[in-house]
Structure 1
Amino acid sequence: MFSLASCSQLVICDYNPKNILMSFFARLYGSYEDLQIGQVSEALVDFTGGVNTRIKLAEAPPDLWDILTRATYSRSLMGCQTHLGTTKVLKNGLVAGHAYTVTGIRKVTCQYGPENLVRLRNPWGKIEWKGDWSDSSYKWELLSPKEKILLRKKKEDGEFWMSLRDFKIHFVDLVICKLTPDLMSQEDGKKWMYSLKSGRWVKGSTAGGSLGFCNGNFWMNPQYWLNVLPAEDSKKSPSTCNVVISLMQKHSTKHRNRAPHLFIGFLLYKVGLQYQESNRKLPPGFFTRHQPVNKHQVFLDEREVTHDFHLEPCVYVIVPSTLEPQQESEFILRVFSRKHVLREMGGNTSFTLSKEIVDRYEGKIWEDFFTKHFEQNPEINAVQLQRILNNISWRNFQSFHLNFSLDSCQGILALLDLNATGTLSIQEFRVLWKRLLFYLEVFQKRDTKRSGKLDLVELHTAVQETGISLSNEVCNLMAIRYGDPDLQISFESFVCFMLRVEIMGEAFRNLTQDGKGIYLRESEWMMMTLYS
C-alpha cells in the first residue's frame, strides 16, 4: 500500500517515468543525497540485474572495438571513468575522476582512412571534450557532408564524440553491463544459465577471512559446490567452458555513503573424486594441500568483484571471503555459464568417523554391550537410555565425568522416536549412536582447553565442523537454551543442541514446498512446538 507521502512524491514527479524511477531508487538507498556518490558499475547492476564486464583500457584487448560493437547491438549499458586529478575540469574539457556514459559508436570514413569513434555523455549535461572530434573540431571537415550532418551536433548538451584511441588514453576503465556475460566469449545469442545464492559472513562462525592471514580459519567461510557441465547445444564437447563468477557484498544500512566497502574476494578450487559427491564443507587440511584455480586472489574494496574463467567441465568449490577475519556482512554470489549446477555446501550432515573412533566405540562395544542389551529389551525407554549412556566407558573423557540427565534422555528420545511409541528400537538407537560418536569427535577437537565445555566461539566452530550453517543469532539462542549461566556447553548439552538443530532442519526441508517457508495445520504446529 502506498503512503500519502509516496503518492505525493509521484504527483510531484508529474508522472515522468524517469523521475518516478529515480524517486524509488532514492528511497531504496536512503535519500537523493545518497545517489550523488558511488560507482558506475553499481548503478548499472542495480537498474538491470545484469553482470558487469570491466575492461582496463590501458590493457584493453585487441578486439575492443568488436566488444563495443556487440555491446551496442545487444543494447547493453556502458559506462566509463576518467583518471583522478588535482584539477576538477581539465584543459581538454574532461572532468577528472568523473563517470561518463557511452551512448554510441560509429566507424566513419575520413580522407586518410577509417576512424573508430565513441560517443560519450557527461551526466551533468554540460562541460564537453575539446579535443579531436569534439563539437568544434576541424576533424569533421574530413568526413562526407552526409556523415558530418548525421553525427555532428553543435550544442552544449554534455554529449560528444572522440576517437577510440583518445578514449583508451583519457579513460581508466570501461564497464559493460549485460544480462548475460557473453561479450568476452563471443557466444552472443546462445543460452546462458544464471544461479544466485545469498550468504553471510558471521563473526565467530563463517567469517574466516582470507588464506593470507594464516589463521587456519579460512575453511570456516561459506563454501559453494559448482559443477561445470558442457553445453548441450555444443557440436562437440569443449575442452573449456566460459564461466563468470560474481561476488557482491550487501550493507546492513541503506545509506551507502555511510557504509564503506569491505575488501572482498573469492577462491575457486577444483576438487577430486573423493569430494565431488559430498555435501560437507571441505576440511581445513584440503586448503593446505591444494592450490586454487585463481592463484593470484584479488581483494577489492568494491561492492562487486567479478572474474571470468575458462574451466574444464568438472566439480569446483567457490569460497567467498573478506580479506580480514571476523568481518561481518551479507553477500550475493552469482554464477553465469552455459550449463552448471550450484549449491551451498554444509546443508546436510554426513557422518564420517575417524578410524580411531570407529575402532574404540563401534566394534567390540557394539557387539558385546548393545546387542546383548537389545536382545533383552527390543525397545528402550528414557530411563533405560540414560542407564546405557551413563554406563558406557567413555575413555576419551578422562578429565571429567559424563552424566546424561533423565531430562536430556527424554528430549533425545522425543526427537528420534519417529513412531511416537515412547521408546527407541535398535534401528533408532543405531542412528543415535552414530551421531553420538560424530559429536564426540567434533566436541573433542574443538574443546581445546580440555575443560569438558565449549564457549561460544568454540561452539560456532564446532557447529561449522558438522557441516551445518547456523546464523550467529540462532547459535547464541541455542547456547542460552542449553548452556550454563556462563553460556558454556557441556557434551551432553551439545548432543541435545545438535540433535535439535538437525531434526528441526530435516522437518523444515520435508515440509517446505519452495525452500523459503512452510504452512502448518494446527496439529502440525503443536507437534513442532513440542519439539522446541
Structure 2
Amino acid sequence: MPLLPCLRKKKSPMPLGRSVFQKHNPPVQQNYQALLEKCLKSKCLFTDENFPAHISSIGTGALLKRLPAKLQWKRPHDLHSTPVFYAANRKQLDLCQGLVGNCWFLAALEALTFHQDILAAVVPQNQSFDRKYAGIFHFRFWHFGKWVDVVVDDLLPVNEAGELVFVSSVYKNVFWGALLEKAYAKLYGSYEDLQIGRVSEALVDFTGGVNVTIKLAAAPPDLWDIMTRATYSRSLMGCQTHLGTTKVLKNGLVAGHAYTVIGIRKVTCRYGPENLVRLRNPWGKIEWKGDWSDSSYKWELLSPKEKILLRKKKEDGEFWMSLQDFKVHFVDLIICKLTPDLMSQEDGKKWMYSLKSGRWVKGSTAGGSRGFRSDTFWMNPQYCLKVLPAEDSRKSLGSCKVLVSLIQKHSSKHRNRAHHHFIGFSLYKVQSNFQESNKKLPPAFFTRHRPVNNHQLFEDEREVSLDFHLEPGVYVIVPCTLEPHKESEFILRVFSRKHVLWEMGGNPSFTLSKEIVDRYEGKIWEDFFAKHFEQNPEINAVQLQRILNNVSWRNFQSFHLRFSLDACQGILALLDLNATGTLSIQEFRVLWKRLLFYLEVFQKRDTSRSGRLDLVELHAAVQETGISLSNEVCNLMAIRYGSLDLQISFESFVCFMLRVEIMGEAFRNLTQDGKGIYLRESEWMMMTLYS
C-alpha cells in the first residue's frame, strides 16, 4: 500500500458510524442599506438581534474566564467625544490585539494595508460616526466562493474603565478595527471562534485569492525569486513561527505566532549582497533581536544612504532579518495570490477561473483516498479538465500553468467547533476522446494509472492547493478525503490561461428514451458537435443558431424546426452562468440534453402533429417533465411565449421550460428557508435583465 503523506494532525480521527450529512450553514444576509435607511427614518440606533450585545456573542469556553469582572457594551460615542471610523492618513494599521488570540487575523489584515483598493472592498470607506450615522456598519468577506456582506451594530465590549476588551487602535478615537473584528466574529459564530486560526485562512477571506504554503525547512532554491515576484504581483504574504513552551523567545520572536511579510530588499554589504526580509509583529511591539534587528551591528556594513533608508530604531513591531534566518526561525511562508501567475514568468497575462461546488456523502461520493481504500476511490466526485493552449502564448505548444485549489466547508455555525478532514486531490491524464462519454472513470482505471501528482498531500486544513505545468489535453481531478465515509461540502477552483471544467457522471433531472440516446447522443455528438467545439471552445448566439439549425432533426419529427436569433440569445443568456456572452462545451452539453428531452416530451403531447401545443397540451407537457406549475402560471407563459391564439411552438416551449428550470434552481440555491430570497439591486438586475 502506498504511503499516505500528511503534514500534521490536529485532531484524532472521529470513529466511523452512522451519520447524517450536514450542509454548510451560510451566514444570514441582512440588507445594510435598507436597515440604515429604516434607522435614520425612525431616528433610532441599530441593534443587531443576530449578533447581540450579550455574552453569547463572545463565546462559551475559556475566553469567558479572561473577561473583566464588569463587562459592558458601549458605542464609540460613549467612549470618545470625537470617534472616527477610519483614519485614511495612517499608513499602518496601528491596531492592538485584545484578549482574543487572533494574531493570525491581524497579521492578514496588516498585509491588506499595502493594497488600499482591496482594503476598501473589505472595509467600505463611506461609513462614519457623523454623516448618516445610525449605529450600523458593514464589512465584506469572501466566504466559501461568495462575497458576503456582514452587518453589525457598534456596541463594543469594554471594561469598567471604558477600554475596549478586544481589538483596539493606538489612536483611541479610531474604531474601524474593533468593528471589523466584530463582523468577522459574527461571520464565524463568536469572538471565541477567532481564538485559533491560520493567517492563510484570513488572507483568503479578505481577498478570495488562492494560498500557496511553502515549508521553509524544505524551501525551493528559488525562494527569493518567488518572494520577489509575489512582492511585484499584488500577492499578500504571511508567516508563522515554530511552536514553543516559552511565549517570547530570547531572540525576540514570539513562539507559535503569526507575522506579516511587509517587504523584501537586496542590500550590498562590504562582503557582498544580502537578501533581507521585512516583517511586522501584529502586536505592534516585541521585535527580533538578531542580525539586522534595529540595534544590530550589521547596519554598519551598508552605505550611509541604505542605512538611513532602511533602518528604523523604533519599537513598533517592524524589523528586518536575513533570508537565511527567516528560513530557520519560521515554519511556513504563506503567499496569497490575487492572480495565479506568481510562479510563472508570464506576469500580467489573462487567466481563466472556474469554481465547482461538490460534496462527499457517506455511501455515495465519500470514497476516501486511493492509498487508504483503493476499491472505493473511484466513487469520489470526478471533474474533467480540458487544458487548452493560450492563443497569445509563445509557448502554446508547451506546458500550461494550472493552479488547482480545494477548500472544505465546515457545517458548524461556529468555526472552532468544526472538524477539518484530511483533504487532497489527484490529477490524472486521460485520452482526449474520454470527454465524449462524460462517464466517471471506472475502478479499473485507477489500478492501471498513476496520478500526475505522484506525491499526494493530505492536510487537515481548510484549503489545499497545487501548481501544475500541464501539456494541453484532457485531465480528471478527483478531490477526496484521506479516509472514506468522511462527509463534507467542498469547493474546487481551477486557474489557468485557458481551460474548460465540468463534473463527470452528473445525473440530469430528466431521462432520455433509449431511441433518442442511440440516435442523438452518439452519432451527432461525435461527428458534428465535437468537431465544432475543437475549433471553437466557446460559441456565441449566432454560432449557437447555426449549430441548432444545421442539425438534421427530420428523422425525429414531422414539422419544420428553426431557431431564431432572438431565441438563441435568450437561451444563451439563461445558460451563460459566468456572463461572458458565450457557451462553453459543457454548458452546451447541458443544453443539448435538455433539447432532446424537451423534443421527446413535445412530440408526445403534440397529438395533432401540428408542431404546436395548445393550452391543454402545454399543461400536460409541463407535467410530463416532472415540474409542478399552477394553471395560472402556465396560462401566463402561454400569453408570454405563445402566438395570438395561445399556441406554443417548440422553440417557445424550449425557452419557456429552460426559464422554469433555471429560475427554479436559482431560487433553491438562494433561499435560506425555502420561502423567500434576498437579492441586492445589482443581482436583481442581473437575474431579470440577463436571463
TM-score (norm 1): 0.66
Residues 191 and 338 in structure 1, CA contact (< 8 A), matched pair in contact too? yes
Task: State the match for 1:133 in structure 2.
Answer: 292
Measure the CA separation in 2 of the matches of 1:106 and 1:236.
32
Task: State the match for 1:310 in structure 2.
Answer: 469
CA pair 62-139 structure 1, distance change in 2 beyond 3 A: same
Residues 351-390 of structure 1 show CA distances to partners (whole Å, capped at 9, x for unaligned) of 999xxxx9xxxxxxxxxxxxxxxxxxxxxxxxxxxxxxxx
TM-score (norm 2): 0.51
Residues 160-213 of structure 1 show CA distances to partners (whole Å, capped at 9, x for unaligned) of 111111111111121111112211122211111111111111112211111123
Deviation at 1:62, TM superposition (A): 2.5
Measure the CA separation in 1 of the matches of 2:513 and 2:402.
32
1:246-257 to 2 correspondences below 5 Å: 246-257=405-416
Residues 53 and 181 in structure 1, CA contact (< 8 A), matched pair in contact too? no
Task: State the match for 2:369 in structure 1.
Answer: 210
Deviation at 1:16, TM superposition (A): 4.4
Residues 154 and 179 in structure 2, CA contact (< 8 A), matched pair in contact too? no
Larger Rg over CA atoms: 1
More helix per residue: 1 or 2?
Answer: 1
1:357-372 to 2 correspondences below 5 Å: none
Deviation at 1:240, TM superposition (A): 1.1
Task: State the match for 2:379 in structure 1.
Answer: 220
Residues 202-245 of structure 1 show CA distances to partners (whole Å, capped at 9, x for unaligned) of 11221111112336222211111100111110124232111111
The code of the aligned residue for 1:314 comes to G
Deviation at 1:129, TM superposition (A): 0.5
Residue 58 (structure 1) aligned with residue 100 (structure 2): no
1:5 to 47, 61, 73: 47
1:6-45 to 2 correspondences below 5 Å: 6=48, 7=135, 9-12=152-155, 16-45=175-204
1:513-528 to 2 correspondences below 5 Å: 513=662, 516-517=665-666
Residues 247 and 265 in structure 1, CA contact (< 8 A), matched pair in contact too? yes
The code of the aligned residue for 1:517 comes to A
Measure the CA separation in 2 of the matches of 1:222 and 1:20.
40
Task: State the match for 2:304 in structure 1.
Answer: 145
Measure the CA separation in 2 of the matches of 1:417 and 1:338.
41
Residues 266 and 321 in structure 1, CA contact (< 8 A), matched pair in contact too? yes
Deviation at 1:347, TM superposition (A): 2.6
The code of the aligned residue for 1:258 comes to R
Deviation at 1:145, TM superposition (A): 2.6
1:90 to 231, 238, 249: 249
Task: Give the SS at the match of 2:666.
Answer: coil
Relative to structure 2, which stretch is displaced further, 231-240 or 98-107?
Answer: 231-240
The code of the aligned residue for 1:5 comes to T
Measure the CA separation in 1 of the matches of 2:375 and 2:279.
49
Residue 190 (structure 1) aligned with residue 349 (structure 2): yes
Residue 240 (structure 1) aligned with residue 399 (structure 2): yes
CA pair 193-417 structure 1, distance change in 2 beyond 3 A: closer
1:162-173 to 2 correspondences below 5 Å: 162-173=321-332
Deviation at 1:60, TM superposition (A): 2.0
Deviation at 1:21, TM superposition (A): 3.1
Deviation at 1:107, TM superposition (A): 1.8
Residues 234 and 338 in structure 2, CA contact (< 8 A), matched pair in contact too? no
Task: State the match for 2:444 in structure 1.
Answer: 285
Measure the CA separation in 1 of the matches of 2:226 and 2:371.
35
Task: State the match for 2:333 in structure 1.
Answer: 174
Deviation at 1:12, TM superposition (A): 4.9
The code of the aligned residue for 1:226 comes to L
Number of aligned residue pairs: 380
CA pair 36-53 structure 1, distance change in 2 beyond 3 A: same
CA pair 352-275 structure 1, distance change in 2 beyond 3 A: farther
Identical residues among aligned pairs (%): 74
Residues 74-101 of structure 1 show CA distances to partners (whole Å, capped at 9, x for unaligned) of 2321001112223222111111222111
Task: Give the SS at the match of 2:450.
Answer: coil
Task: Give the SS at the match of 2:365.
Answer: coil
Residues 373 and 484 in structure 2, CA contact (< 8 A), matched pair in contact too? no
Residues 125 and 159 in structure 1, CA contact (< 8 A), matched pair in contact too? yes
Deviation at 1:422, TM superposition (A): 10
The code of the aligned residue for 1:35 comes to L
Task: State the match for 2:279 in structure 1.
Answer: 120
Residues 287-310 of structure 1 show CA distances to partners (whole Å, capped at 9, x for unaligned) of 222221112222111111111111
Deviation at 1:114, TM superposition (A): 2.1
Measure the CA separation in 2 of the matches of 1:53 and 1:252.
25
Measure the CA separation in 1 of the matches of 2:371 and 2:231.
41
Residues 404-447 of structure 1 show CA distances to partners (whole Å, capped at 9, x for unaligned) of xxxxxxxxxxx975456599x9xxxxxxxxxxxxxxxxxxxxxx
CA pair 38-515 structure 1, distance change in 2 beyond 3 A: farther
Please list every run of 5 or more consecutive structure 2 residues that lacks an aligned counterpart in the other structure: 1-30, 36-45, 49-134, 137-151, 157-172, 519-598, 610-654, 669-691
Residues 368 and 486 in structure 2, CA contact (< 8 A), matched pair in contact too? yes
Measure the CA separation in 2 of the matches of 1:273 and 1:352.
27
Measure the CA separation in 2 of the matches of 1:138 and 1:221.
58
Measure the CA separation in 2 of the matches of 1:97 and 1:130.
17
Residues 480-513 of structure 1 show CA distances to partners (whole Å, capped at 9, x for unaligned) of xxxxxxxxxxxxxxxxxxxxxxxxxx99767445
Deviation at 1:18, TM superposition (A): 3.8
Residues 509 and 515 in structure 1, CA contact (< 8 A), matched pair in contact too? no
Residues 200 and 330 in structure 1, CA contact (< 8 A), matched pair in contact too? yes
Please list every run of 5 or more consecutive structure 1 residues that lacks an aligned counterpart in the other structure: 359-414, 426-505, 520-532
Task: State the match for 2:258 in structure 1.
Answer: 99
Measure the CA separation in 1 of the matches of 2:184 and 2:314.
30
Residues 263 and 302 in structure 1, CA contact (< 8 A), matched pair in contact too? yes
Task: Give the SS at the match of 1:517.
Answer: helix
Deviation at 1:283, TM superposition (A): 2.0
Deviation at 1:260, TM superposition (A): 2.7
Relative to structure 2, which stretch is displaced further, 103-112 or 129-138?
Answer: 103-112
CA pair 294-515 structure 1, distance change in 2 beyond 3 A: farther
- Alignment RMSD, CA only? 3.0
Residues 310-334 of structure 1 show CA distances to partners (whole Å, capped at 9, x for unaligned) of 1111101111111111111010101
Measure the CA separation in 1 of the matches of 2:331 and 2:275.
19
Task: State the match for 1:80 in structure 2.
Answer: 239
Task: Give the SS at the match of 1:5.
Answer: coil
Task: State the match for 1:295 in structure 2.
Answer: 454
